[in-house]
Amino acid sequence: MLATAPTVSRRDFEQGTGWTFKPEGACKGDVCIPLKKQPGESIELSAIAAEMGLPLVSEPNHQLWAVGPESIGSKALVSAEAPSLVLPDLDGNLFDLKKLLGKKVLIYAWAPY
For another protein, the binding residues (CB under 8 A) are: 1-2, 18, 53-59, 62, 64, 66-71, 73-83, 85, 87-90, 92, 95, 97-98, 100-113
Q: Which of 74, 57, 54 is nearest to 6 (CA)?
A: 57
Least distance from C-beta 76 to another protein, angstroms?
3
Q: Give the sheet arrangement for strand 31-33, strand by strand.
A: 20-22, 25-28, 31-33
Least distance from C-beta 44 to another protein, angstroms?
17
Q: How far apart are CA 73 and CA 16, in angstroms?
A: 21
Closer to another protein by Cβ: residue 34 or 68: 68
Closer to another protein by Cβ: residue 37 or 101: 101
Dihedral sign, CA of 94, 11, 22, 58?
positive
Least distance from C-beta 56 to another protein, angstroms?
7
